[in-house]
Amino acid sequence: MVEEGRREQKLMSVVRTEMSLWRLYLLEFSKRSALADEEGNGLYGSELETSNSSRRLQRRPMQRCSDAPSQAMRNQNFLRFCLCRSYRASPSSIKLYQSVSDSNRDSAARFITCTGFQPDVGMISTINVEVVAMKAFKTEFHVLILGIDKAGKTTLLEKLKTLYSNLEGLPPDRIVPTVGLNIGRIEASNTKLMFWDLGGQVGLRTIWEKYYEEAHAIIYVIDAACPSRFEDSKSALEKVLRHEDLQGAPLLILANKQDLPGAVTAEELARYLDLKELDERLYLFEAVSAYDGRGIKDAVDWLMDAMERSRRTETLRIRAGVAAGPIPTVGF
Ligand SMILES: Nc1nc2c(ncn2[C@@H]2O[C@H](COP(=O)(O)OP(=O)(O)OP(=O)(O)O)[C@@H](O)[C@H]2O)c(=O)[nH]1
Ligand SMILES: [Mg+2]
């Protein structure tokens, strides 16, 4: 009892504001979901309901208050936001439901029940959260690394492996021009990324488009220290951007080889390329060196964020059949 009282006290000190309350739940939530994720599964609500904090809160009587709908909406939005951050999922792949029906249980989607308690307005509410794309949380993002020959694509891929995995990537002096495809897998901030690095020689560029449909994003590498090849880089990139299979794919343009004295900056490169095909695509120019690694982490951070926000990611998820689910209920 004393132990329980202490727990309650501790809980209530955390539950001072709505924000901290939700953080508490999400802590619980993410711990358990992460466990389940390792087995490739999500969680059912009942599993979460057995957690101490949830059980404690659920015992309180249900009440309603006058501004319940707006509070509920605020909660939902905040919860959705937190889930997006926690799982790097896109907001629309997370749907909140009023209740979990038996038919839902049969679906591939998993349910997680969180109990919400708002001390400020004295309202207790139960939100059943269906994370429709539970599997999608562990979806691998496919990133195409493109660019003309000798831009430094494979060197970049090997550097990414060194920076983001336990494997030491190949040193630059062991890298040869790419004829087929190099694949690299890394995990950054709980997100899995798979890179496809293709050969950039003229005769090999026709193969690029075979990978477009499945790609979440493109990294386009340019040798920033070699202005004589900018024109070739620009026209190859424009062709990539015109391809309809890459519609909406976020684009990260890397001004590589910054360790070399003559390398132009990302801004100079952007000015030079003067791309007209960007439309509403998310894009960024970033100065990097695949040799010494500068700029790479910032570039990868941006890329992950862009892929999460990108509508294309959602489209690919839907195509893979993971985002299908019942119609969400708004408010409760
Ligand atoms: N100084 C410097 N050299 C680099 C850098 N990145 C790549 N290189 C060199 O540029 C040359 C081409 O690098 P690769 O990684 O093979 O280029 P690639 O784009 O994969 O070329 P393809 O496979 O033919 O399309 C090699 O000599 C690399 O050592 C860099 O950041 N700085
Ligand atoms: Mg290569």
- Of 117 and 72, more confident: 72
Q: What is the pLDDT of residues 78-108, one digit of tens each?
A: 555 555 554 455 555 544 433 333 333 332 2
CA of 182 to the centre of ligand 2 (A): 8
The pLDDT of residue 319 is: 66
321 has a pLDDT exceeding 80: no
- The reply to whether the predicted model has a pTM over 0.95 is no
Ligand closest in space to the Cα of 292: 1
Give the separation between CA 254 and CA 111, rounded to whole angstroms.
41
The strand pair at 217-223 and 141-146 is best described as parallel
Quick one: pLDDT at residue 84? 52
SS (H, E, C) 210-257: HHCCCCCEEEEEEECCCHHHHHHHHHHHHHHHHCHHHCCCCEEEEEEC
Backbone angles phi, psi at 178, to 5 degrees: -85, 130
Q: What is the mean pLDDT of residues 10-33?
A: 36
Q: Could you tell me if the ipTM is greater than 0.85?
A: yes
> Residue 261 above 80 pLDDT?
yes
Distance 161 CA to ligand 2 centre (A): 15
89 Cβ neighbours under 8 A, 6+ residues apart: 83, 131, 133, 136, 137, 308
Active site residue 201: yes
How far is it, in rounded angstroms, from Cα 139 to Cα 133? 9
Q: Which ligand is nearest to the CA of 158?
A: 1
- Position 33: which residue type? S
Q: Is 178 in the pocket of ligand 1 (CB under 6 A)?
A: yes
Task: Pick the most confident of 78-87, 112-121, 150-159.
Answer: 150-159
Q: Token digits for 198?
A: 């293709």
Across 110-119, 218-227, 316-325, the highest mean pLDDT is recorded for 218-227
